[in-house]
Chain A
Amino acid sequence: DAGVIQSPRHEVTEMGQEVTLRCKPISGHNSLFWYRQTMMRGLELLIYFNNNVPIDDSGMPEDRFSAKMPNASFSTLKIQPSEPRDSAVYFCASTLQGPGANVLTFGAGSRLTVL
């Protein structure tokens, strides 16, 4: 398996632009997580899905952020409009939830810079 695949690896955009980050989880995994990493706040859980259904989005900073998982093999995190304070590394991770499982596999991350 190729692991969790995220795109783009790097994105530089200007304030006010829409940003879409993409994630392909590991085949067979039933849970998907989006995290944001910054120096100040560490790794923050933004949202997670179980069987494509959003379970907890309490970590999503505000209405400018939205996430979707239309099927088991694809998820997006969208920021519209983007702001400089959104600059961070965004990680997608997936896992198979259940007894003896629950180990997160992370993608390589998407580094977002908003100017």
Chain B
Amino acid sequence: AQTVTQSQPEMSVQEAETVTLSCTYDTSESNYYLFWYKQPPSRQMILVIRQEAYKQQNATENRFSVNFQKAAKSFSLKISDSQLGDTAMYFCAFMQNRDDKIIFGKGTRLHILP
């Protein structure tokens, strides 16, 4: 069965710093998608970034970028120039093409300090 592991339950960084959130996953498939979702205190789940496994280039969305290491089954999220509004719970998620089921890690609670 596929699993998603986020090893950092909680992190704190100063505003404007760069922070990296870790995610590893386990699968025997070669085609799949990876996602990072953000859940601010409002509880709403918001897509941050998405990566397709067959694409070698790391996805980037403004201040958010990923380091996708397929052989190591690692998918970390880097937030540059962090802002107070980045304070949230961050979830890594995995979807394999074969059955379209999307599973989530347990999340990393990120605090951006003023």
Contacts and interface: CB of A to CB of B under 8 A. Distances in A.
Contact of B103 (A45, A89, A91, A109): A45
Contacts, number: 49
B105 A50 contact: no
B100 A109 contact: no
A50 B105 CA distance: 23
Contacts of A31: 100
Interface stretch (B21-29, B42-50, B60-68, B71-79): B42-50
Contact of A43 (B33, B44, B50, B104): B104
Interface in B66-114: 91, 93, 95, 99-107
B44 A97 contact: no
Q: How large is the interface on B (under 10, 10 to 19, 20 to 34, 35 or more residues)?
A: 20 to 34
A59 to B, nearest CB: 9
Interface of B is mostly: strand
Interface string B12-53: 000000000000000000000101010000011101001000
Contacts of B50: 103
A14 interface: no
A55 B100 contact: yes
A68 to B, nearest CB: 19
B100 A97 contact: yes
Nearest to A4: B45
B43 A42 contact: no
Nearest to A56: B101
In the complex, the 5 A-B pairs of residues with the closest C-beta atoms, listed nearest first: A42-B106, A106-B45, A43-B104, A97-B100, A109-B43
Interface of B: 33, 35, 37, 43-45, 47, 50, 91, 93, 95, 99-107
28 contacts: A33-B102, A35-B104, A42-B104, A42-B105, A42-B106, A43-B91, A43-B106, A43-B107, A45-B101, A45-B104, A48-B101, A50-B100, A55-B101, A56-B99, A56-B101, A97-B100, A102-B95, A102-B102, A103-B50, A104-B37, A104-B47, A104-B102, A105-B47, A106-B45, A108-B43, A108-B44, A109-B43, A109-B44
